[in-house]
Amino acid sequence: MIPDTNLINALARLLIFPGLLFAVPAAWFFLWVERKAVALMQGRVGPPFMQPFFDFIKLLGKTTPPRSGVAGLLMRAWPLIAVSAAAGAVGLLPVLPSSGGFEGDLILLLALLELPSMCIIAAGFSSRSIFGEIGSAREAVLSVAYNVVFLLAIVSVAASQHTFRLEALAQLPASPLRWLGVLAILVCLPAKLHLNPFSLPNAEQEIYSGPMVEYAGPELAMWELSHGLEWVAATGLVATLAAPHITLVWLAALIFVGLMFAIVLILSTLASATARLAIDTTVRFYWQCTLIFAVLAISSALFMRFRS
């Protein structure tokens, strides 16, 4: 019996490229780029190339605080769910030509991208720490604020191209509304990745890392890996929408990785050059972006309709 081609493609995307075999090293690399860019902007040397990997191994060797009851089980479960969701989101990205996929996989990708934020919110409240609860409350408010723009951008791009299938969306020629959607997604990434000026949930000077304050050892290592995989998934989504359709496998993969690296470098540099905004300023900023993007999206849709 011949194995199903779609199943083989799906397993290859999940386990090899852009899946775990690529995504995990890329996550550590992007975490290093983030820290290195901030250090260079501040006039410091910064960490060595392998430092995120060494930190991960070091945390795996440490012990976690003893916890009992349902709260303890939940605190151990949240980082594992976050890592699984981020890895699954990376595996859905249609990097290579004819990589498979299914109708509506864009909706699944959005759900998986949102799961790590939901796990962070739940983790802070499960920790029973006042600092964790404040960080979770901030994460919840921030998530509501930027997700309006993020979801509106994704839906507008998909609607303009008449498909919710990622592979078909990547192969179609770009429209003005698609580039507008990519720009809106880029505006949302600093908040989704907890970068300045939107690093409210994990403000170390105010609330001691927020939802992560009670985490240590292997659990904290999983949170760090989840954050790195979010980098890969979020920048990979933008790269998928922005990259031109190319039939050569090696060139498509090279452009995909190059665009991701450029986005990480730009966002990290921006984070090091800005200060953290207050929660009310952040919410007001994203609500204003929502209004502006909604007007531009409707105008672009009407323009394309009348032109056709």
Residues 26-35 have pLDDT tens digits of: 999 999 999 9
The helix/strand/coil state of 62 is coil
Task: Kindly indicate the confidence band of residue 5, based on its pLDDT and cuts at 50, 70 and 90.
Answer: low
More confident residue, 79 or 166: 79
Which helix H or strand E contains 189, and what residues bound it? helix 176-192
Q: Residue 29: how many CB atoms within 10 A of its CB?
A: 21
More confident residue, 196 or 3: 196
Mean pLDDT over 165-193 rounds to 85
Residue with tokens 């991208």: 113
- pTM of model > 0.85: yes
Percent of the chain with pLDDT over 90: 34
pLDDT of the residue at 2: 41
Dmax over CA atoms of the chain, in Å, equals: 65
pLDDT of residue 66 exceeding 50, the answer is yes
pLDDT of residue 115 exceeding 90, the answer is yes
The single-letter code of the amino acid at 19 is G
pLDDT of residue 163 exceeding 60, the answer is yes
pLDDT of residue 56 exceeding 90, the answer is yes
pLDDT of residue 226 exceeding 90, the answer is yes
Whether 186 contacts 150, CB under 8 Å = no
Mean pLDDT over 129-134 rounds to 86
Residue with tokens 């493609």: 9
pLDDT of the residue at 32: 94
Residue with tokens 């996989």: 105
Q: Round to whole Å and give the CA distance between 118 and 211.
A: 11
Mean pLDDT over 63-92 rounds to 88
pLDDT of the residue at 13: 74
Comparing CA positions, the residue from 123, 238, 222, 140 lying closest to residue 183 is 238
pLDDT of residue 46 exceeding 70, the answer is yes
pLDDT of the residue at 277: 81
φ, ψ (nearest 5 deg) of residue 82: -65, -45
Which helix H or strand E contains 213, and what residues bound it? none
More confident residue, 143 or 70: 143
Q: Round to whole Å and give the CA distance between 103 and 101.
A: 7
Count, residues in the chain? 308
Write the CA distances from 66 to 27, 61, 75, 76, integer angstroms. Answer: 29, 15, 11, 11
Mean pLDDT over 69-96 rounds to 88
